[in-house]
Amino acid sequence: MSKSNWIESRFGHHRIIYLLKKDDDENLFSYIVIFLKSGITIFQINKNKGFIDIDRQGCIVEKHNQRNKINILKGLYEVCNYTLKFVEDSCPVKGKIVFFDDCKIRNNYNNKEIIINASKAMEILGSKSNVDISDIEIEQLYTSFKKDIQNG
- The domain limits of the chain are 5-151
Q: Residue 102 above 80 pLDDT?
A: yes
* 39 close to 133: Cβ distance less than 8 angstroms: yes
Average pLDDT over residues 2-31: 91
pLDDT score for 62: 60
pLDDT in tens, 32-43: 999 999 999 999
pLDDT score for 66: 64
pTM, to two decimals: 0.88
* 152 close to 78: Cβ distance less than 8 angstroms: no
Exposure string of 75-97, with b = 16+ CB inside 10 Å and e = fewer, is bbeebbebbeeebeeebbbbbbb
Chain centroid to CA 55 = 19
pLDDT in tens, 105-150: 888 887 888 999 999 988 888 887 888 899 999 999 999 999 988 8
pLDDT in tens, 36-91: 999 999 999 988 788 888 887 766 666 656 667 778 888 899 999 989 887 877 78
Backbone angles phi, psi at 43, to 5 degrees: -105, 125
Q: Residue 18 above 80 pLDDT?
A: yes
Average pLDDT over residues 11-15: 94
CA atoms within 13 A on the CB side of 136: 0
